Amino acid sequence: MVERETKSIHTTPGKYVEPGQDYDRDTQYIEDRITTDARDGWPVEAGRYRLIAARACPWANRAIIVRRLLGLEDAISLGTPGPVHDERSWTFDLDPDGVDPVLGIERLQDAYFARFRDYPRGITVPAIVDVPTGAVVTNNFPQITLDFSTQWTQFHRDGAPDLYPEALRSEIDEVAELIYQDVNNGVYRAGFAGSQRSYERAYTTLFSRLDWLEDRLSTQRFLVGDTITEADVRLFTTLVRFDAVYHGHFKCNRNKLSELPALWGYARDLFQTPGFGDTIDFQQIKDHYYQVHRDINPSGIVPLGPDASAWLTEHGREELGGRPFGDGTPPAPPRDGEKVPSIR
């Protein structure tokens, strides 16, 4: 066991809510950071760390996208648990013999327990694991992607975009917080609501924010500035799951994403941008939500639709201007072993 303390390890309630209660996400993560100055004891070092990120999970999907956009594949390896987990942990059932080939573990909880004996909180993705010790370093997903942008610059690819430009950080942070509260977490607050009142409150807040985003994106191609930023990554991972999962499974059904013209065009624009759609596995996404959440889908039946080929249709967003990568360039195609099924 690695003898390092973390700032926020406490007991945690169950994942879902009791009848009559609001859904309240546990946000007390392991707050250690990997930085150039190693302030928390974890230095930036190529090859030392492994990102564990299930493709099914929107929070983990953010880290996969940012790693791709910045070209950190050589510096930080990627492990991908399968889409379906039990009450104990995410598992590596997609790998040969169900074992992560680098960490040599069957369950992500083993990396948490290697750091904290009897870790009391949820075993979440994304998580970054210290390969030499097999111990988890952090699962603080909002900070992980920001640190990829600001702390790992020496390992960025040539032409990597600036996803967190200093001059725009305050606006990016403001927009990202609104998106987190009302959209990213808002769909969960609706889906896991413990009462009609809680559900209706979450539903109303969600669609009010989507209307705000629809208006904002009707006149500009990206959320902040004229290039892709961290804010776009954070919104995209919810939008790409909306019609496939949140509309029906979480009862977020005032509109489909495909019925909101600006948001639908924006989402397709990002999906067709290298680094975004090539990280998306719709089957894994649906398998996760519909099979794991048996409290709201007792049968475990996974829907066949919707037709994912609509994500490849023309979006016309180029007319709004903007340059996705600014003065940079798109990332290379995904590497063997990191490719997702093609949409037909």
- Look at residue 180 and give its three-state secondary structure: helix
Q: Which of 221, 188, 176, 171 is nearest to 58 (CA)?
A: 188
Q: Provide the strand spans (E) within the chain.
A: 49-52, 77-79, 127-130, 135-138
Q: Count of residues for the chain?
A: 344
Given a contact cutoff of 8 angstroms between Cβ atoms, the answer to whether 292 and 302 are in contact is no
The rounded Cα 155 to chain-centroid distance in angstroms is 22
Given the residues 57, 199, 289, 290, select the one marked as catalytic: 57
The response to whether 42 counts as a known ligand-binding position is: no
- Look at residue 58 and give its three-state secondary structure: helix
Q: How does DSSP assign 102-163, residue by residue? A: TT--SBTHHHHHHHSTT--S---SSEEEETTTTEEEE--HHHHHHHHHHT-GGGPPTT---S
Q: Judge whether 252 counts as a catalytic residue.
A: no
Q: Judge whether 57 counts as a catalytic residue.
A: yes
What distance in Å separates the CA atoms of residue 35 and residue 56, rounded to the nearest whole number? 28
Task: Supply the residues annotated as catalytic.
Answer: 57, 188
- What residue numbers does the annotated binding site cover? 90
- What residue numbers does the annotated binding site for glutathione cover? 90
